Amino acid sequence: MKTKASVKIMRSYDYNHFEVSLSTDELIDEKEVNFLRIKAAKLVDHAIEQYKKKKNTEAYSANNTYLRAELERKVKAIKENFPQSEWTPEQIAVVKQLSDLEFNDRFEYDEEYQF
């Protein structure tokens, strides 16, 4: 038996709802309807995976922002309180770490997800 079909998949994850609807105007059999259902389920799963990655990236970024501010505070204190010739190896390492982060900032780009 062939019929027109529409499938809808909805999943909840982390208090969010992810939904995909697929339909066709062609006459298809049960096997093709199942294929549409599987395709919709995979799309929903992909959306959830993207959400997880984005959420982890934001949490990592927030943590790094705090750590970066702390590092900048330490470097400022080192530069204000000690002449460069009297820095300990640990102080040199802290200043170098901030310098490396500032260098890396020049190469960070905001990438979009592409299909």
| pLDDT tens figures, 27-86 | 999 999 999 999 999 999 999 999 898 888 777 666 778 888 888 999 999 999 989 999
So what's the pLDDT on residue 101?
A: 82
**The two structure tokens encoding residue 72:** 């900048």
So what's the pLDDT on residue 2?
A: 86
| 22 pLDDT higher than 60 | yes
| Domain positions in the chain | 3-105
Tell me, yes or no, if the pTM score tops 0.85. no
In sequence order, the β-bridge partners of residue 18 are 11
Q: Are strands 3-13 and 16-28 parallel, antiparallel or unpaired?
A: antiparallel
CA distance 17 to 8: 13
So what's the pLDDT on residue 62?
A: 66
CA distance 31 to 36: 9
